């Protein structure tokens, strides 16, 4: 089974790129974030024409939004809101006995101070609440996968400059600490880092502001795939599709794939 996560940054704008992702990666399950569309207007045909007949949605107009599209039947579809906001950031479904969680953590704005920046305060509270909920939810559960745009680059090698990024939202110590608590909530295993050693640089996002994103390579690893410990021995590979950042009208994120035997 191949699972792919991708912050598509508007599914209607980039629907043609879904075919390229399918051709390059051939995922069985495709999880999208930042779809930016209400559910009735979601372009289902772009996915069903590629074989993804089973689609679960949690969307809203113009902002956020998550999707799980699968070639295999989906069961027990549910969505959860955090911090009292119904802002379409979580979706779960069971596929072939594995519980999938598609998650889109708030970006947090530009100022890493919760007193000055309500968006950053929301991000920290979201991570706290998600960790608390998952601790209870994970007890005695079936095997699980959590994947999505978690908007935190936790390791020094997950950013282009650890020293310069310490004061930048996505790599601040408090964000890394809170993401660590979320990871500990179900003893999640970082599936991509199981194949790319922590001492090697690894990115999944490059800013639109760069004149030449490839040459400057000032990336961050914001997109993650985690599995519960019982699935870790079944991991067989991982791919970060860097090439997708160079496509026409690309998302600033690239697809990340993980294979489970």
Q: Residue 74: which CATH number?
A: 3.60.10.10
Range(s) of the domain holding residue 23 = 2-106+142-152+187-260
Q: How many domains does the chain have?
A: 1
Is 158 contained in some domain? no
Is 135 a domain residue?
no
Q: Decide if 247 is inside a domain.
A: yes
**10 lies in some domain:** yes
> Each residue's pLDDT tens digit in the chain (261 positions)?
999 999 999 999 999 999 999 999 999 999 999 999 999 999 999 999 999 999 999 999 999 999 999 999 999 999 999 999 999 999 999 999 999 999 999 999 999 999 999 999 999 999 999 999 999 999 877 899 999 999 999 999 999 999 999 999 999 999 999 999 999 999 999 999 999 999 999 999 999 999 999 999 999 999 999 999 999 999 999 999 999 999 999 999 999 999 999
Residue 121 lies in a domain: no
3-state secondary structure the chain: CEEEEEECCCCCCCHHHHHHHHHHHCCCEEEEECCCCCHHHCCCHHHHCCCCCEEEEECCCCCCCEEEEECCCCEEEECCCECCECCCCEEEEEECCEEEEEEECCCCCCCCCCCCCHHHHHHHHHHHHHHHHHHHHCCCCCCEEEEEECCCCCCHHHECCHHHHCCCCCCCHHHHHHHHHHHHCCCCEECCCCCCCCCCCCCCEECCCCCCHHHHCCEECCEEEEECHHHHHHEEEEEECHHHHHCCCCCCECCEEEEEC
The answer to whether residue 161 is domain-embedded is no
Does this model's pTM top 0.85? yes
């Amino acid at each position: 089974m191949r699972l792919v996560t991708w912050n598509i940054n508007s599914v209607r704008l980039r629907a043609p790129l879904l075919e390229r992702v399918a051709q390059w990666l051939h995922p069985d399950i495709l999880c999208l974030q930042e779809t930016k569309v209400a559910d009735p207007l979601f372009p289902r045909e772009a996915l069903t024409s590629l074989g993804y007949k089973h689609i679960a949605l949690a969307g809203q107009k113009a902002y956020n939004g998550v999707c799980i599209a699968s070639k295999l039947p989906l069961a027990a579809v549910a969505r959860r809101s955090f911090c009292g906001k119904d802002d379409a950031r979580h979706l779960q479904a069971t596929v072939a006995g594995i519980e999938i969680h598609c998650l889109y953590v708030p970006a947090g704005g530009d100022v890493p101070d919760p007193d000055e920046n309500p968006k950053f305060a929301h991000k920290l509270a979201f991570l706290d609440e998600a960790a608390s909920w998952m601790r209870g939810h994970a007890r005695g559960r079936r095997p699980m996968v959590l994947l999505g745009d978690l908007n935190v680059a936790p390791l020094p090698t997950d950013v282009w400059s650890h020293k310069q990024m310490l004061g930048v939202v996505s790599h601040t110590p408090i964000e890394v600490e809170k993401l660590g608590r979320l990871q500990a909530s179900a003893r999640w295993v970082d599936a991509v880092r199981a194949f790319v050693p922590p001492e090697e640089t690894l990115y999944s996002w490059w800013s639109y502001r760069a004149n030449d994103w490839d040459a400057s390579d000032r990336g961050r690893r914001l997109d993650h795939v985690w599995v519960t410990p019982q699935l870790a021995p079944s991991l067989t590979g991982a791919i970060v599709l860097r090439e997708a950042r160079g496509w026409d009208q690309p998302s600033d994120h690239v697809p990340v794939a993980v294979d489970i035997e």
